[in-house]
Amino acid sequence: MNDSGVKPRRILIVKLSAVGDVVHALPALNALRTCFPEATIGWVAHPGPASLLEGHPQLDYLYKFPRPRGVKEALSSVKNLRKALCDAGPWDVAIDFQGLTKSGLVSWLSGARQRIGFQGAASREVNALFMTTRVPTTAESVIHMNLQLLAPLGCHATEARAVLIAHEDDREYIRRWAEDFGFTGERFFVLDSFAGWETKRWPRARWVRVAAEVHKQYGLPTLLFHGPGEQEEAHQLAAEISDSGGTAVVAPKTTLRQYIALLEQHAALMAGGDTGPMHIAAALGIPTVALFGSSCSRRNAPAFSNARFEAIQDFSQPCAGTFWRKCSHHAPGHCMDGITEAEVLEAVARLLCS
């Protein structure tokens, strides 16, 4: 129920990007569907992360809002989104999990009379101007901050469950890959050594030694996940791991949903930085080692209810917790130098031997 005691019938979620942030908001979707099983629920997201939500069983509408390139394209995108939201019928409430000017604008475009957003530091730029209800959150974890945004609706959720889906054609794509390369039934140490921010990358040589040791101790070959433009570097990393006594193969090119299917069928362990692929793995309950550089593990740790994870961060570094994309204190890719290979392997042991 909302502040007036009326159950909302039409709820719009606004979380535009990025992939990990959308995964962080999935427990709020699950809570809304649990609290209001008869409600119509929509979601506005940028096209990339929106692919996680296509055909989602807890959603009724999905709106893809392109990232505009220039003023003319921005005005066209806003006009098209406004029409699509209005054509679907009036929205009772919009919940802005992004906390930015653009997400506030999207919430306002929905026409919802109640627009719920963050109060305090999580409300950035001029987002507050678009909100009718601002919620002071007390949780340190962003996943639980998102759940606290539901309080004005009378939805007080504690379970942080993210529902992630792969379609049958996604699973079939992975099955065919496994059959073609002789990996049917094989379980891997899935490694995502890449990140869009240089402040979220761990030195490659350390991943090489960790992968070799994981193979030696646990018999797990490494499966190297990669995104667009990263395949060549992934092949180089595979060769270095093999030269160091490990076994490594490069994962097939995948969409996000195919990546979910890949994890479901082949992951025994996952490791990576603070990225979408890491959060997806943790949300699926796969043992996950998460390394943090300039972002904050207290805020961004994958604290899903079913997650088995170890978060590692060196808070003595001046960039830790700043969320800097570029660092003035370290050379590119060296913000996590304070994290040792021994720490990572100890985390692996706790996850696999517990």
Query: How far is Cα 104 from Cα 106, in angstroms, rounded to an integer?
Result: 5
Would 163 be classed as within a structural domain? no
Given a contact cutoff of 8 angstroms between Cβ atoms, the answer to whether 93 and 115 are in contact is: yes
For residues 148 and 183, membership in a common domain is answered with: no
Query: How far is Cα 305 from Cα 158, in angstroms, rounded to an integer?
Result: 9
pLDDT for res 74: 86
Q: Which domain holds residue 320?
A: 168-353
SS3 letters for 158-208? Answer: CCCCCCCCCCHHHHHHHHHHHHHHCCCCCCEEEEECCCCCHHHCCCHHHHH
Would 261 be classed as within a structural domain? yes
Would 159 be classed as within a structural domain? no
Would 89 be classed as within a structural domain? yes
CATH number of the domain to which 329 belongs: 3.40.50.2000
Q: Which pair of tokens denotes residue 316?
A: 């003595």
If one counts the domains in the chain, the total is 2
- Out of 98, 124, 153, a domain closes at 153
pLDDT for res 88: 87
Q: Is 138 helix (H, G, I), strand (E, B) or coil?
A: coil
For residues 148 and 174, membership in a common domain is answered with: no
For residues 146 and 194, membership in a common domain is answered with: no
Would 2 be classed as within a structural domain? no
For residues 75 and 174, membership in a common domain is answered with: no
Dihedral, CA of residue 313, residue 317, residue 323 and residue 329, to nearest 10: -140
- Out of 119, 153, 187, a domain closes at 153
Would 231 be classed as within a structural domain? yes
Would 162 be classed as within a structural domain? no
The residues facing 117 across adjacent strands are 134
Q: Residue 311's closest CA among 331, 293, 332, 323?
A: 293
For residues 234 and 117, membership in a common domain is answered with: no
- Out of 92, 121, 153, a domain closes at 153
Query: What DSSP string describes 10-66?
Result: EEEEE----HHHHHHHHHHHHHHHHH-TTSEEEEEE-HHHHTTTTT-TT-SEEEE-P
| pLDDT tens digit sequence for 183-235 | 999 999 999 999 999 999 999 999 999 999 999 999 999 999 999 999 999 99
Would 3 be classed as within a structural domain? no
Low-confidence residues in the chain, pLDDT < 50: none
For residues 179 and 219, membership in a common domain is answered with: yes
For residues 149 and 199, membership in a common domain is answered with: no
